[in-house]
Amino acid sequence: MAKPNVVTKEELLQAAQQCLAENGIEKTTLKAVADRANVSQGTVFYHFRTKEQLMIELVQSLCDSSWRKQGHGSLEEALQAARERCGYDSAYHRLFFASMAASLSFQPNRGRLGSMIRQENGQLTGMLASRWEASPVDGIPMEHWGVLMNALIDGLAVQALLDEAFPKDAIFDALQRLLAFLTKEANR
Average pLDDT in the chain = 88
Give per-residue pLDDT as tens, 153-186.
999 999 999 999 999 999 999 999 999 999 999 9
pLDDT of 75 reads 86
For residue 3, the model assigns a pLDDT of 44
Q: How confident is the model at residue 67 (pLDDT cuts 50, 70, 90)?
A: confident
Q: Assign 72 a pLDDT band (cuts: 50, 70, 90).
A: low
pTM for this model (two decimals): 0.80
Give residue 101's pLDDT. Answer: 79
Task: Give yes or no for residue 1 having a pLDDT over 60.
Answer: no
Size of the chain, expressed as the number of residues it contains: 188
